[in-house]
C-alpha cells in the first residue's frame, strides 16, 4: 500500500464519518473568530437556542475594522469613528461574553490579526484542524495543521457541533528545490508559484509545500507561503513539521508544557508525508531561478519578476485570458511592454496576515535604515500584525528606523490590506503592498495594488518606483 | 433554509473570468451584522459610478449604464451566467447573500472557487458547473436573444433551453438532498451528537494537548 500524504494523515485522524457522497464530517480542534464573519453565526445560534459545543476551542479577536492610529486606539471602542464598524466590534465583544468565548479584545496587548496571533499564542498546534471565517486561514498550515477558510454558515456549524462538513480534497505537492538568492523571500516564492499554476491552479486541492527552499524558511516565512495558498485556489496549504516548527512553538501560552510537550512532540514529528506517498499532482520549482516578484494586474497570477516587463496581451493565445489582461491593464493605468521598474508609486503598505510578522518588519527596516522615503510617496505605513509583534519591533528599535525614514508606525490590525477601516488607498493611486490581493478596489475604491515582499516594498518606498532589492541593498 | 427544486428564469451574463468576492460585494458593506439587505450593493463598484457606503441612498446614485445589471433586458433575472473561477478570493458569505438578496437563484460557470461554491449551498442557491464550451454557447445564446430563459430542474439534474435542448449537470448527493429539503444542516449534524461525543472523547485521550486552555495559563 502506498504511503500517506501529510494531508491524508490529518484528514484521517479527524474523520468522524463519511456522510453521503463525497461529504464527510470532520472534527475541528480550533476555531478562530473575528468580528466580520461571525455576528450572523452567533445570531443563528441565538435564534435556534443553541450553545457552543466546546467554547474553549474558540479564540476571538477583532482585526478587520479597528483603527490603526494610536490616538484612536487609546479611546477604545469610541475611537472607531464609523458607527457601523463600531457596532460590529462591540457585537464581537458582546457575543464572546454571552457565549463564554475567550477574546483578545481591541486593546489587549496580545490582540492582532487573527492569523498572526493564532500561531503566536500557540493556539495553532501541529496536527490540528483549524477553521476561521476567513480565507487566509490557510496560513496556519505552516505549522503542519489542516486549516480551512470557511463561510459564516460554517462558522455557526462549527460553533454548534465542533465539526465541519467537508469533501476530501486532492493532494498537490509544490516542491521548491535548491536555495533562494539573497534578497528573495517567501513572498517571492509564493507569488512565483501562483504565477506558474494560476489563481485556480490549486482549486480542489490541498497544497503541500516542500523542498529544500521551503525547509530552509523560518515559520514566519512558511506562514507567508501557506497564507497565499488560497490565492492559488487551494483552501488549505501545509508544510511538514520539523525542528523549526517545534522551536517556534515551545513555551507559547496555548502550547503544552513539560511531559505533555514531550509526548506531543513524538506524535508531531510524524506529521510529514511518507516517502512513498502519492500526490495527484506535483509541481517542481527551482528556488535559484526565482527573482523578486511584482504583480502588475488585478489578479495575483498577473505577476512578473522585477527585471521583467508587463506582458503583451496580444501574445496571449487564450482569448479569455487576453481579455482579462487588457481589462487589468486598463484598470491599472499601465501599458503592455513597460518595465516593472518604471511603475511609479504613491503609497507603501507593509502589513497584513501575509507579511506583518517580526521577520517581515526586520527585512523592511534593514532596507530603509538611514534612508528617506521618496518625496512622491504620499503615504508609507507599517502596520504590525499583533501587539506582541509591535512590542518586539519597538524593543529592537525598528519603529525608530521606520519613523526616521518617514514611514508611519501604526497599531496592529488588517488595515489597508482590505481597507475596511479608515486606511484606504485613493482612486488611481499605485500602492506597493505586502498584502495578498490585488483585486480591483481591494485596498480602496479604484486603488491600484502591486503585491510584493516587505523588502521590495521598502526599497520602492525609498526609490518612489520599483527597484530590484538585490541591487538596492548593495548600494 | 429555503428549499430549491426548480427554477425557470431570465439569464444575466457576466462575461469576466476570476470574478472575486470583493467584486461581488465590496468590503464596506461587510460591516453589517445582518444577513439581508446586500442586494442593492451587489457588484457595487461596477453597477454604480460612485463609491457607495452602507448608509448611502442607492436610489440617488449614478448608475453605470454599460453594466449588465442596469440593462433593461436583464431585469428580474434569476440565473447568473459566469466564467471560470467565479467567487474566488475572500470567504465572505456576504457574496451569496448579496446574490440571493438581489434575486439570483442559480449560477452557471465552468468552475467556481471552493469556499464560494460551498457557501451557495448553505443559502439555497444552486451553483452549476458546466463544460467551458457549453457555457460559451450559452453566452452566445443569451447575447442573441433578448429575454433568454433557462429552466433548471434539480431533482432531474437538468437545464432545459427554450428550444428544448436538455443539458445534464452533476451535483453532490448530500448537497442536493440539503437543497431539495431546505435542511437545517446543524440540526442534521446534531442527530449524530453521540457519534461526535464518542469521537471527541477518544481524541481527547489520544491528543490531550489540543484540549488545554491557553486562556487559563496566560491568565486571560
- What distance in Å separates residue A158's CA from the closest CA in chain B? 9
Which residues, in sequence order, are bridge partners of residue B8? B151
**Is B41 near chain A, with CB under 8 Å?**
no
A157 contacts on B by Cβ (under 8 Å): 185-186, 189
Q: Enumerate long-range contacts of A77-85, CB under 8 Å, 24 or more apart.
A: A77/A106, A80/A421, A81/A422, A82/A421, A82/A422, A82/B31, A84/B31, A84/B32, A84/B54, A84/B55, A85/A420, A85/A421, A85/B31
- The DSSP secondary-structure symbol of A153 reads H
| pLDDT average, residue stretch A288-300 | 98
pTM: 0.96
| pLDDT average, residue stretch A416-431 | 96
How many CB atoms lie under 10 A from the CB of residue A109? 12
Q: What are A142-171's pLDDT values in tens digits?
A: 999 999 999 999 999 999 999 999 999 999
**Is B133 near chain A, with CB under 8 Å?**
no
- Check CB contact under 8 Å for B115 and A165: no
Q: Among A123, A200, A439, select the one facing B111 at the smallest CB separation.
A: A200
Please give the interface size between A and B, counted as residue pairs whose CB atoms are below 8 Å apart: 218
Residue B131 in contact with residue B169, Cβ under 8 Å? no
- Check CB contact under 8 Å for B23 and A440: yes
How many CB atoms lie under 10 A from the CB of residue B143? 11
Q: Please give the share of chain A, as a percent, with pLDDT higher than 90.
A: 97
CA distance A393 to A382: 11
Q: Among B119, B189, B200, select the one facing A151 at the smallest CB separation.
A: B119
Q: What are B2-50's pLDDT values in tens digits?
A: 999 999 999 999 999 999 999 999 999 999 999 999 999 999 999 999 9
Residue of chain B nearest A301, judged by CA positions: B18
**B119 φ, ψ (degrees, to nearest 5):** -60, -35
Is residue B219 over pLDDT 50?
no
pLDDT of residue A209: 98
- The DSSP secondary-structure symbol of B138 reads H
**Is B6 near chain A, with CB under 8 Å?**
no
Q: How confident is the model at residue A2 (pLDDT cuts 50, 70, 90)?
A: confident
Residue B117 in contact with residue B126, Cβ under 8 Å? no
| pLDDT average, residue stretch B194-198 | 98
User: What residues contact residue B164 under an 8 Å CB cut-off, 6+ apart?
Assistant: none
pLDDT of residue A400: 98
Alpha helices by DSSP H, A250-309: 258-268
**Is B113 near chain A, with CB under 8 Å?**
yes
Residue B107's alpha-carbon distances to A104, A151, A394, B11, in angstroms, are 39, 18, 50, 9
CA distance B79 to B5: 14
**Is A161 near chain B, with CB under 8 Å?**
yes
- The mean pLDDT of chain A is 97
- Check CB contact under 8 Å for B174 and A324: no
Cell representation of residue A216: 530552509
Which residues, in sequence order, are bridge partners of residue A175? A210, A284
Name the architecture of domain B6-171.
Answer: Alpha-Beta Barrel (3.20)
- Check CB contact under 8 Å for A441 and B31: no
Residue B136 in contact with residue A166, Cβ under 8 Å? no
Q: What are A311-345's pLDDT values in tens digits?
A: 999 999 988 899 999 999 999 999 999 999 999 99
Burial grade of A290 (CB within 10 A; 0-12, 13-18, 19 or more): buried
| pLDDT average, residue stretch A274-288 | 98
Q: Among B18, B28, B91, select the one facing A37 at the smallest CB separation.
A: B91
3-class secondary structure, B196: helix
- Check CB contact under 8 Å for A264 and B33: no
**Is B191 near chain A, with CB under 8 Å?**
no
Burial grade of A70 (CB within 10 A; 0-12, 13-18, 19 or more): exposed
Q: Please give the share of chain A, as a percent, with pLDDT higher than 70.
A: 99
Residue A304 in contact with residue A444, Cβ under 8 Å? no
| pLDDT average, residue stretch B73-95 | 97
Q: What are A114-124's pLDDT values in tens digits?
A: 999 999 999 99
Q: What are B104-159's pLDDT values in tens digits?
A: 999 999 999 999 999 999 999 999 999 999 999 999 999 999 999 999 999 999 99
Q: Among B93, B186, B187, select the one facing A37 at the smallest CB separation.
A: B93
Is residue A177 over pLDDT 70?
yes
CA distance A7 to A144: 9
- What distance in Å separates residue B155's CA from the closest CA in chain A? 16
Is residue B216 over pLDDT 50?
no
Residue A422's alpha-carbon distances to A64, A68, A120, B109, in angstroms, are 11, 8, 26, 35
Assembly ipTM: 0.95
Q: What are A338-361's pLDDT values in tens digits?
A: 999 999 999 999 999 999 999 999
Burial grade of A227 (CB within 10 A; 0-12, 13-18, 19 or more): buried
CA distance A385 to A388: 8
Q: CATH 3.20.19.10: which residues of chain B?
A: 6-171
**Is A131 near chain B, with CB under 8 Å?**
no
CA distance A122 to A125: 6
A21 contacts on B by Cβ (under 8 Å): 172-175
How many CB atoms lie under 10 A from the CB of residue B83? 22
Is residue B215 over pLDDT 70?
no
Is residue A434 over pLDDT 80?
yes
Is residue A20 over pLDDT 90?
no
**B178 φ, ψ (degrees, to nearest 5):** -60, -45
pLDDT of residue A473: 56
pLDDT of residue A472: 74
B195 contacts on A by Cβ (under 8 Å): 16-17
pLDDT of residue B214: 54
- What distance in Å separates residue B194's CA from the closest CA in chain A? 11
- Check CB contact under 8 Å for A151 and B113: no
pLDDT of residue B163: 94
Q: How confident is the model at residue B166 (pLDDT cuts 50, 70, 90)?
A: very high
- Check CB contact under 8 Å for B189 and A165: yes
Q: What are A198-238's pLDDT values in tens digits?
A: 999 999 999 999 999 999 999 999 999 999 999 999 999 99
**Is B34 near chain A, with CB under 8 Å?**
yes
- What distance in Å separates residue A112's CA from the closest CA in chain B? 15
pLDDT of residue B213: 63
Alpha helices by DSSP H, chain B: 21-24, 44-47, 94-102, 114-121, 132-144, 173-181, 185-190, 193-206, 214-217
Amino acid at each position: 500500500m502506498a504511503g500517506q500524504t501529510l494531508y491524508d494523515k490529518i484528514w484521517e485522524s479527524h474523520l468522524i464519518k463519511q456522510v453521503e457522497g463525497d461529504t464527510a464530517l470532520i472534527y475541528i480542534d480550533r476555531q478562530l473568530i473575528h468580528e466580520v464573519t461571525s455576528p450572523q453565526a452567533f445570531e443563528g445560534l441565538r435564534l435556534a437556542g443553541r450553545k457552543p459545543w466546546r467554547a474553549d476551542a474558540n479564540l476571538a479577536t477583532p482585526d478587520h475594522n479597528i483603527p490603526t492610529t494610536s490616538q484612536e486606539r487609546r479611546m477604545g471602542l469610541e475611537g472607531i469613528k464609523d458607527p457601523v464598524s463600531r457596532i460590529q466590534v462591540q457585537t464581537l465583544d458582546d457575543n464572546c461574553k454571552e457565549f463564554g468565548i475567550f477574546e483578545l479584545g481591541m486593546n489587549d496587548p496580545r490582540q492582532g490579526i487573527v492569523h498572526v496571533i493564532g500561531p503566536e499564542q500557540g493556539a495553532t498546534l501541529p496536527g490540528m484542524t483549524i477553521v476561521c471565517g476567513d480565507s487566509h486561514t490557510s496560513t496556519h498550515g505552516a505549522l503542519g495543521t489542516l486549516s480551512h477558510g470557511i463561510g459564516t454558515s460554517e462558522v455557526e456549524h462549527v460553533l454548534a457541533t465542533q465539526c465541519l462538513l467537508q469533501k476530501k480534497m486532492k493532494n498537490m505537492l509544490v516542491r521548491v528545490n535548491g536555495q533562494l538568492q539573497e534578497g528573495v523571500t517567501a513572498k517571492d516564492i509564493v507569488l512565483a508559484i501562483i504565477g506558474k499554476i494560476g489563481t485556480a491552479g490549486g482549486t480542489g486541492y490541498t497544497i503541500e509545500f516542500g523542498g529544500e527552499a521551503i525547509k530552509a524558511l523560518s515559520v514566519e516565512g512558511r506562514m507567508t507561503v501557506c497564507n497565499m495558498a488560497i490565492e492559488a485556489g487551494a483552501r488549505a496549504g501545509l508544510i511538514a513539521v520539523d525542528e523549526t516548527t517545534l522551536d517556534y512553538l515551545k513555551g507559547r501560552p496555548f502550547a503544552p508544557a513539560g511531559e505533555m510537550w514531550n509526548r506531543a512532540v513524538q506524535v508531531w514529528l510524524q506529521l510529514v508525508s511518507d516517502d512513498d506517498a502519492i500526490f495527484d499532482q506535483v509541481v517542481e520549482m527551482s528556488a535559484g531561478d526565482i527573482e523578486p516578484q511584482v504583480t502588475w494586474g488585478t489578479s495575483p497570477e498577473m505577476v512578473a519578476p522585477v527585471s521583467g516587463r508587463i506582458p503583451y496581451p496580444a501574445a496571449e493565445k487564450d482569448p479569455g485570458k487576453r481579455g482579462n489582461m487588457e481589462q487589468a491593464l486598463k484598470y491599472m493605468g499601465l501599458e503592455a511592454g513597460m518595465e516593472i521598474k518604471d511603475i511609479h508609486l504613491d503609497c507603501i503598505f507593509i502589513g497584513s496576515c501575509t507579511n506583518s510578522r517580526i521577520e517581515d518588519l526586520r527585512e523592511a527596516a534593514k532596507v530603509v535604515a538611514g534612508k528617506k522615503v521618496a518625496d512622491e510617496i504620499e503615504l508609507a505605513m507599517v502596520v504590525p500584525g499583533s501587539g506582541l509583534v509591535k512590542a518586539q519591533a519597538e524593543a529592537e528599535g525598528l519603529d525608530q528606523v521606520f519613523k526616521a525614514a518617514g514611514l508611519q508606525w501604526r497599531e496592529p490590525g488588517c488595515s489597508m490590506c482590505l481597507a475596511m477601516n479608515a486606511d484606504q488607498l485613493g482612486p488611481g493611486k499605485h500602492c506597493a503592498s505586502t498584502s495578498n490581493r490585488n483585486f480591483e478596489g481591494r485596498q480602496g475604491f479604484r486603488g491600484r495594488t502591486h503585491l510584493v515582499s516587505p523588502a521590495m516594498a521598502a526599497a520602492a518606498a525609498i526609490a518612489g518606483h520599483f527597484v530590484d532589492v538585490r541591487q538596492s541593498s548593495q548600494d | 433554509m429555503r428549499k430549491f427544486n426548480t427554477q425557470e428564469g431570465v439569464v444575466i451574463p457576466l462575461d469576466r473570468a476570476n470574478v472575486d468576492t470583493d467584486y461581488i460585494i465590496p468590503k464596506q458593506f461587510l460591516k453589517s451584522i445582518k444577513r439581508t439587505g446586500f442586494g442593492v450593493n451587489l457588484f457595487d463598484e461596477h453597477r454604480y459610478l460612485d463609491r457607495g457606503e452602507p448608509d448611502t441612498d442607492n436610489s440617488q446614485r449614478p448608475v453605470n449604464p454599460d453594466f449588465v445589471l442596469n440593462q433593461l433586458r436583464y431585469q428580474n433575472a434569476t440565473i447568473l451566467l459566469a466564467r471560470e473561477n467565479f467567487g474566488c478570493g475572500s470567504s465572505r458569505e456576504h457574496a451569496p447573500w448579496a446574490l440571493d438578496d438581489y434575486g439570483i437563484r442559480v449560477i452557471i460557470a465552468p468552475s467556481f472557487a471552493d469556499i464560494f461554491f460551498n457557501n451557495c449551498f448553505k443559502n439555497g442557491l444552486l451553483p452549476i458547473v458546466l463544460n467551458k464550451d457549453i457555457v460559451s454557447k450559452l453566452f452566445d445564446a443569451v447575447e442573441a436573444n433578448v429575454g433568454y430563459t433557462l429552466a433548471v430542474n434539480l431533482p432531474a439534474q437538468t437545464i432545459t433551453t427554450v428550444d428544448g435542448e436538455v443539458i445534464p449537470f452533476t451535483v453532490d448527493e448530500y448537497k442536493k438532498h440539503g437543497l431539495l429539503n431546505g435542511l437545517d444542516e446543524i440540526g442534521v449534524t446534531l442527530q449524530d451528537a453521540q457519534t461526535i461525543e464518542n469521537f471527541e472523547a477518544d481524541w481527547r485521550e489520544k491528543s490531550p494537548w489540543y484540549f488545554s486552555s491557553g486562556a487559563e495559563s496566560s491568565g486571560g
